Each structure stands twice: as C-alpha cells, then as structure tokens.
Amino acid sequence: MHGIFALEERVNLSFRSICVPRPVIPRVGLRTCKTCKKALPFSAFYTTTKQVFTSCKSCTIEASKIRYRKQHPEIRQRSSPFDDKRCPVCETVKPYTEFEKSPSRWGGRGAYCHACKRLKNQESRQRQIDINNARKRVPWREVAALDPLFHHANGMLKRARARAIKGNLPFDLDIEHIQTLIVPICPVLGVKLNYTLVNNTDRTDSPSLDRFNPALGYVKGNVAIISWRANRIKMDATTAELLKITEWMIQRKFGAQTKLSVHINLKGVV
C-alpha cells in the first residue's frame, strides 16, 4: 500500500508541475543589463510574450552590428556598418542611401539598390503584361461575327444538350446536323429568321430548336429550326391540343356554330 500511495503522490506532483503556470516576470522597476551591467527600466529592453531580453536595446544593436561586420568583411569598417551595403544583383558595394527604403527590414533599407530594384520592377511588370496578354480571350462577339450561322448552331446545340441532361432525355445531335437544319424562313409562321448578333429583347424572329415529339428528346429526325415565337406557341402541346385550341379561338371569334373549314378527326391524332 505504501508503494501505491508513493506512486500516486509522484503522479500528482507531475500533474501539478504541468498545470501550474510559470511565474510571470514583473516588468516594473529596474533590470540589470547582462552586457553593460547598467540598471535600466524595462522599457530599455526588447521583450516578447514569453521573456525579456537579458541585454538592453543598445547592447543588442551593437551585437547585431558586430555580427554584420563578420558576415560581410568586404565592407569597410566605419562608425556604422550601414554606411555601405552590397547589392546582391549587381554585386557592388554602394552607399547605404543608394538602397530603397524598407521599414520592415533590418536597418530600414531593402536588399537591392535603386537601379537594380528599378530593373526588377520593370521585368516583373513586363512579365505580368505578357501573362495577361496570353490569358486574354477574344470577345465572343468578334468570333461569332466571322460566322453567325455557326455561332447560332453551336449555341442551339449546347443549350439542347444542357436541357437533355437536365430532363434526362435522349440526345444524339451534332453540329453538322444542326447546320443542315438552318433555314432562312420560319416554316410555321413564314417570317424571316434573324441570324444577326444584335442584342434585341424582341426575340420573335430568332431561330429556335424545336422537338416534334417532346417525349422523344433531341434526336435526329425529331428536331427542326423554327422561329422563337412559333416554338413558344407550340411548347410541349400535342397536335390534338393545338387543333382544339384553334377551333376554340375560331368559335370565340366567329360564333359557337363555326367549325374548321376542313373536317379533321381528332380521335387518334397525336
């Protein structure tokens, strides 16, 4: 039993050491610099979220300057290591003022001199212009104006394919078959079909792809190009329904006893 209690005590101590937060260093009063041995306020030291630097800001900067001199022995030793700076592009040591300003970099200056930075900006700008020109697409109206009939046939083919997929209908059309169906006059209303690219809200005379029997889908032999107006009137109505509508309209206009001039048996008509 003694061993069990001892093990439990060790576990509790380990858990307590993990859960208890570290003591927070007070950041008020004075702090002695490890390098210059001076007692300075905490505002004279660099701090992070976890610690306070042991050396003051002045000593830290001097140590950074010494490291910079060791890493760049070609730079002349002056009062400041930033009197001269080496450009990695042209590999020339130039005065510190010949480099671009960059507040986010050490010393407030960038890595490239003004001349090299200017050249790099021009090359980057030209490279982006070339990329944009390569990605630039020719406006569809300019392409369609070269062959309006092909443009309309291709558009009708794409829209018919989309409707067939959405309605789960048979589809076996191609662009060559659509082009063979193009007619200048609507076979239903007798109006001239408009194949121009004028953006007009009145689509009465625009070409439209129609299915004779909507249930058969977009297959060869079941489609024709008629005007948008005729296609809208027809929609998915059957022949019998259209005849009944026609007879009803004639009776409404000329009287209830008026019949169609030609007798048509509606039984069995699809």
Q: Are residues 167 and 208 in the same domain?
A: yes
Q: From 120, 136, 152, give the residue that closes a domain.
A: 136
- Looking at the structure, do residues 244 and 269 belong to the same domain, yes or no? yes
Q: What is the gyration radius of the CA atoms in the chain, in angstroms?
A: 43
Q: Check residues 40 and 261 and name the one with the higher pLDDT.
A: 40
Higher pLDDT, 74 or 120: 120
Would you say residue 30 lies in a domain?
no
- Flag the least confident range among 63-72, 182-191, 207-216: 63-72
109 and 70 part of one domain? no
Domain that holds residue 270: 237-270
* 49 domain-assigned: yes
Whole-angstrom Cα distance, residue 245 to residue 6? 99
Residues 151 and 177 in one domain: yes
Q: Is residue 114 part of a domain?
A: yes
In angstroms, rounded to a whole number, what is the distance separating the alpha carbons of residues 53 and 60? 9
pLDDT at position 83 over 80: no
Is 157 within the bounds of a domain? yes
Cα(244)–Cα(166) distance, rounded to whole angstroms?
A: 31
Residue 35 is assigned to a structural domain of this protein: no
Tell me how far apart the alpha carbons of residues 36 and 108 are, in angstroms, rounded to a whole number.
Answer: 26
Please check whether residues 50 and 124 belong to one and the same domain. Answer: no
Can you give the CATH number for the domain in which 193 is found?
A: 3.30.40.220
Burial class (CB in 10 A: 0-12, 13-18, 19+), 176: exposed
Mean pLDDT of 216-242: 86
Clarify whether residues 229 and 242 are in a common domain: no
Tokens of 167: 């309605």
Q: What domain count does the chain have?
A: 4
Could you tell me the two tokens for 104? 């986010």
C-alpha to C-alpha distances, 46 to 60, 159, 254, nearest whole angstrom: 9, 67, 100
Is residue 229 domain-shared with residue 167, that is, in the same domain? yes
Whether 36 maps to a domain, the answer reads: no
Position 76 confidence tier, pLDDT thresholds 50, 70, 90: very low
The average confidence (pLDDT) of the chain is: 78
Report the C-alpha gap between 218 and 246 in whole angstroms: 27
Question: Considering the domain boundaries, does residue 34 fall inside one?
Answer: no
Whole-number Å distance between alpha carbons of 209 and 162: 13
Dihedral sign from CA coordinates of 33, 37, 43, 44:
negative
* Stated pTM of the model: 0.44
Considering the domain architecture, whether residues 50 and 65 belong to the same structural domain is answered as yes
Is residue 168 domain-shared with residue 113, that is, in the same domain?
Answer: no
Predicted pLDDT at 6: 52
Give the domain-ending residue among 121, 136, 151.
136
The stretch 142-165 carries a mean pLDDT of 84
Based on the fold, state whether residues 168 and 201 are members of the same structural domain: yes
User: What tokens appear for 174 in the block?
Assistant: 């191609």
Same-domain status, 55 and 83: no
Does 262 reside within a domain? Answer: yes
Residues 17, 29: contact at Cβ < 8 Å?
Answer: no
Tokens linked to 22: 């570290």
Backbone CA torsion sign across 136, 138, 141, 144 = negative
